[in-house]
Amino acid sequence: MSIHPAAAALRERLRWRLVAAAATPLSAGRALDNPVLDRYLRSLVEDGADALAVLVHTGRGPFLDGPTRRAVLAAAVATGVPVIAGAASPADAEQAAKAGASGLLVFAPDSADPVAAHDALWRAAALPMIAFDLYARPYPAGVLPEILAHPGVAGLKVARLHDALACQAGIAACLAADRLAITGEDRMFGPSLLWGAQAALVGIAAAAVPVTAAVLRAFAERRYAEFVAASRRLDRLAATTFAEPVDGYVQRMLWIAAAEGRIPDGYATDHFGPSLRAGERDQVLRALTEAA
C-alpha cells in the first residue's frame, strides 16, 4: 500500500522508540508555568523517552485553550525530540505544523466518516498521522484497513485496554498495511510487543519513564529474561495506575511525577478527571516504590 515519504520517514523514526504521552501540569488555578512545563518535559526525555506526545488524552489537550496549547507545543518542540501532537480538527493540525511537530495523533473522530476526517487533517497540514484505535471509541468494523491505506498514515496506536483479541487484530492489520504498530496498551504492554507492536505511545510514561523504557528496550534488543522481569514490574505499576476509574490514571501519573521531583506538588492535580478515593495517592506511591 502506498505511503507518503513523510509518513514513511516518521514510521522509521519511531520504530522501537518510546513516545511518552505527557501530562500538562497546571497550577491550582489552572495556569501553565512555562519553566515547570519545560523541566517536566525535559525530565521525561532525560529518563528515556525518545519522543513526546502532547495535547493528547493524558495531557488533556481537548480541554486546553489556544495559548496554553501553543505554549505546550513550543516547549515540547524545544526539547529536540520528535513531537506528536493530539489533533481532532484541521485547526489543530495546522497549529501543530506551525509549531514544528513531527506528526499527529488523531483523536477518534466523531464523524460518521473516519476516513474523511483523517484526510481532512492530512490536507490541512500534511503532517504524518498516527491513527488511534481507542477502547472507548474503536474504529467501526471494516474501516481500519481504509485508514491504514491512507498515504499520510505512518502507524496505528492500539489502545483496547483489556480486549486482547481486538489488540491483536489491530496490530495484524497495521503490519499487513506496512505501517508502524504502536502499543498504547498500558495494561497489556509486554504482550502487545509479543503480538507484533514495534513502538510505544503510552500514558504510563507520563512519569516513571525508566520502568516503561526498560520493557521496550529489553524486547527490542532480544534480552528476553530481562524483558520478562521488567514486564512484571511494569504490570504491577499499571494495575494500580490504570485501576478503576481508568480515566483517573492522569491524576495518578501526576502524583508519581511530583513524587519523582518532575513537577511541584502544587501542579500535580488533574482538573478534568474523576475524583479518586481517599488514600489512593499513598497506594500509587507504594506501587511506584515496588516497581522501581
| Domain ranges within the chain, ordered by starting residue | 5-291
Residues 6+ positions from 200 with CB-CB distance below 8 Å: 17, 18, 19, 182, 183, 184, 189, 212, 216
CA nearest 247: which of 211, 279, 275, 209?
275
The arithmetic mean of pLDDT across residues 87-98, rounded, is: 97
Specify whether the CB–CB gap between 206 and 196 falls below 8 A: no
Query: Mind listing the pLDDT tens digit for each residue in 234-288?
Result: 999 999 999 999 999 999 999 999 999 999 999 999 999 999 999 999 999 999 9
Distances (CA, A) of 267 to 24, 226, 236: 9, 34, 26
Q: What is the mean pLDDT of the chain?
A: 96
On whether the 5-291 domain is CATH 3.20.20.70, my answer is: yes
The arithmetic mean of pLDDT across residues 37-55, rounded, is: 98
Measure the CA–CA gap between 90 and 92, rounded to whole angstroms.
5
Query: Mind listing the pLDDT tens digit for each residue in 49-58?
Result: 999 999 999 9
- Given a cut of 90, whether residue 80 has pLDDT beyond it is yes
- Given a cut of 80, whether residue 26 has pLDDT beyond it is yes
What SS3 state is found at 153? strand
Residue 158 CA from chain centroid, whole number = 10
Measure the CA–CA gap between 264 and 287, rounded to whole angstroms.
20
Specify whether the CB–CB gap between 198 and 50 falls below 8 A: no
The arithmetic mean of pLDDT across residues 108-133, rounded, is: 91
Measure the CA–CA gap between 96 and 74, rounded to whole angstroms.
9
Cell of 72: 505546550
- Given a cut of 90, whether residue 292 has pLDDT beyond it is no
- pTM metric for this prediction: 0.97
Q: What are phi and psi of 270, to 5 degrees?
A: -90, 110
The arithmetic mean of pLDDT across residues 33-43, rounded, is: 98
The arithmetic mean of pLDDT across residues 171-177, rounded, is: 97
The arithmetic mean of pLDDT across residues 222-232, rounded, is: 98
